[in-house]
Structure 1
């Protein structure tokens, strides 16, 4: 009976150590965030042209009315990915929205409890999980709404009254 109890305790201890070791060699942010982030854009008017560009100006995707894209979170070791969103339509004022990387709370705090130094220095920086890409207009990238403003026509400007 004593041998059975000892074997059960040893097996339980071994499993606990394996789980702990697994947590220590993974990055918390990589587990939670992954290496990509969803971008979903809806433009008004629906005929508006949406262009997604890299930080270097390379065109990644172009669509009319709405656009979805799975963005990579990083471009290299400790380098978050930057994107630019351009939305425009004739007769409307165009908008440009920067999509910039910021450090994930899971990277900062999660690795304190789970990933440790390996998560901070190796796993999350290599996978890109340490980054969250945020829009410069403070909207969530998975539900980004862009409304273009109609430009004033020459007739409207002719009838405009100057306000002091």
Structure 2
């Protein structure tokens, strides 16, 4: 009996992936804001609107698009009258269980076949969102007919500095 059981356990362990066994295909994302009562929209990488509501809330997000190594990404838009609108990216990353667990137990089958086909190998890049909304500023700006806005750097909210494009 031991001669059959030991090889059988060995084979079964290599046909499973650690993230598939221990992970979940969806993850909860708590979303709040300061102040509360802000409109919230969650869109995925294809532009599909997955959720619309107000803060505080909790959204269930799928971690995979169902394709081979198809981790999802999202944009959470939070807006409230009298405050600046905030767009926050939420990405998916490989979990430690996918990387380390398959190194020890799942092997190549776990890495390249079993875990990579579902969302269980991913985790969201943030545990929750709770941004402080900035009061809307009265920007003194010039808008050209091409859609370019010219503003002073001091008038641009700090969270938008990474999106600025130098043109000269």
Structure-2 separation of matches of 1:149 and 1:19: 57
The corresponding residue for 2:20 is: 30
Counterpart residue number, 1:147: 132
Q: Which has the higher strand share?
A: 1
User: Pairwise CA RMSD of aligned residues?
Assistant: 2.1
- Give distance in 2, aligned partners of 1:36 and 1:19: 29
1:150: how far off? Answer: 1.8
- Deviation of residue 153 (structure 1)? 6.5
Residue 40 of structure 1 aligns with which residue? 30
Q: 2:82: which partner in 1?
A: 91
| Aligned pairs for 1:77-88 within 5 A | 77-88=68-79
Which structure has the larger Rg over C-alpha atoms? 1
Q: Aligned partners of 1:23 and 1:38: how far apart in 2?
A: 29
Count how many residue pairs are aligned between Structure 1 and Structure 2.
139
> What is the alpha-carbon distance in structure 2 between the residues aligned to residue 34 and residue 23 of structure 1?
19
SS of residue in 2 equivalent to 1:71: strand
1:111 aligns with 2:111: no
Q: Do the aligned partners of 1:50 and 1:66 also contact (CA within 8 Å) in 2?
A: no
Structure 2 counterpart of 1:124: 115
Deviation at 1:152, TM superposition (A): 4.2
Which residue in 1 is equivalent to 2:156?
Answer: none
Note the residue ranges of structure 1 that are not aligned, 5 or more in a row: 1-9, 135-139, 155-164
**Contact map agreement 2:18 2:106 (CA 8 A) in 1:** yes
Contact 2:37 2:56 in 1 (8 A): no
Q: Is the 8 A contact 1:73 1:129 kept in 2?
A: yes
- Greater helix share, 1 or 2? 1
